């Protein structure tokens, strides 16, 4: 049996309960995948224990279930993949494609705010500290399905960025690329807060020998201009007892027609049938108080 031509995903971190901004990302990626007759996967990005809330992973999965956002297969947890991340880092170090760095954030800020590759030029090589990729690809632009031609600052794009932190935790950029490649993700649908990070991920896809997915960045739901809804900002958790109103609110945010209030499964079926990618607002952020005003 041939694999599906479209595989999307929703990849929350367990740092709290899902809020309205999370629902937009989940629903947007779900609708996009199902409108393409593809698969929609769920991955829990639990590689930063200091930021994680006990029980949040289970709560996230229960919330998705309550909203009818049922995923294909088994949810993947990043903590199950730590050996894979380390194996790839070991290969990169052995091939001098990554190196240890002992420059602190304060030192980088003092030298202009962008890391200059200092530790990568040292002889002999350092043997402990954070680990940085030798960024040969230096991708500074890409095409986004919604946002169009995206360009980032060239200095940012050329920086040797961290793939393993000095505290021993694996960096998001490395884990997300290895996991997207492992799961065969064909398109990443997520919020515009990760628009700039996509260039670093495309660079990693290139250097690790993987074809990058396509990209579709949705507008961010903001409490006020420049302040997105987030767990860190104590955004209110979405209602799992009566999810229908939140589903229609998220559809409206995404520029979609609202659906008849019914079971969540029936509502999502209707939402998939009438999904219109071109109706999604192109703005990078939308202040919630401005909707329908």
CB 71 within 8 A of CB 41: yes
At 96-109, the pLDDT tens digits run: 999 999 999 999 99
**82-164: which CATH architecture?**
3-Layer(aba) Sandwich (3.40)
At 161-185, the pLDDT tens digits run: 999 999 999 999 999 999 999 999 9
What's the full length of the chain, in residues? 293
Give dist(CA 15, CA 77) in Å, integer.
14
At 12-68, the pLDDT tens digits run: 999 999 999 999 999 999 999 999 999 999 999 999 999 999 999 999 999 999 999
At 194-222, the pLDDT tens digits run: 999 999 999 999 999 999 999 999 999 98
Q: What is the pLDDT of residue 98?
A: 98
Give dist(CA 268, CA 5) in Å, integer.
21
Phi then psi for residue 252, to 5 deg, are: -65, -40
Q: What percent of the chain has pLDDT over 70?
A: 96
Task: Return the residue matching tokens 């360009």.
Answer: 151
Give me 198's structure tokens.
């996509």
Q: Where are the alpha helices (DSSP H) in the chain?
A: 20-35, 56-66, 82-94, 105-110, 154-158, 172-183, 197-208, 244-253, 264-273
Q: What is the pLDDT of residue 293?
A: 47
Q: Where are the domains of the chain?
A: 7-80+183-290, 82-164
Q: Is the pLDDT of residue 291 over 70?
A: no
What fold characterizes domain 7-80+183-290?
A: Rossmann fold (3.40.50)
Total-model pTM: 0.94
Q: What is the pLDDT of residue 292?
A: 52
Farthest CA pair distance, the chain: 67
Banded pLDDT at 274 (limits 50, 70, 90): very high
Topology alike, domains 7-80+183-290 and 82-164: yes
Q: What is the pLDDT of residue 217?
A: 98
């Amino acid at each position: 049996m041939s694999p599906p031509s479209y595989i999307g995903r929703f990849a929350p971190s367990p740092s709290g309960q899902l809020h309205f901004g999370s629902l937009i990302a989940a629903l947007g990626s779900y609708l996009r995948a199902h409108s393409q007759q593809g698969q929609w996967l769920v991955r829990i990005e639990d590689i930063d224990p200091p930021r994680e809330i006990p029980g949040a992973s289970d709560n996230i999965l229960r919330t998705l279930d309550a909203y009818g956002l049922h995923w294909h297969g088994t949810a993947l947890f990043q903590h199950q993949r730590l050996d894979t991340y380390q194996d790839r880092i070991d290969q990169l170090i052995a091939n001098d494609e990554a190196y240890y760095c002992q420059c602190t954030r304060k030192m980088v800020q003092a030298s202009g705010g962008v890391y200059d590759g200092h530790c990568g030029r040292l002889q002999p090589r350092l043997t402990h500290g954070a680990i940085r990729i030798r960024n040969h690809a230096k991708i500074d632009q890409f095409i986004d399905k919604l946002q169009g031609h995206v360009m980032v600052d060239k200095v940012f794009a050329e920086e040797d960025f961290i793939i393993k932190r000095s505290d021993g935790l694996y960096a998001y950029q490395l884990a997300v690329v290895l996991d997207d490649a492992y799961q065969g993700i064909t398109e990443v649908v997520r919020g515009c807060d990760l628009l700039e990070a996509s260039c670093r991920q495309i660079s990693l896809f290139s250097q690790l020998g993987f074809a990058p997915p396509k990209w579709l960045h949705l507008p961010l739901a903001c409490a006020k201009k420049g302040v997105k809804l987030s767990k860190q900002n104590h955004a209110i958790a979405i209602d799992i007892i009566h999810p229908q109103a939140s589903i229609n609110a998220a559809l409206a945010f995404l520029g979609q027609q609202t659906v008849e209030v019914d079971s969540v499964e029936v509502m999502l079926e209707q939402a998939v049938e009438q999904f219109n990618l071109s109706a999604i607002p192109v703005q990078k952020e939308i202040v919630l108080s401005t909707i329908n005003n």
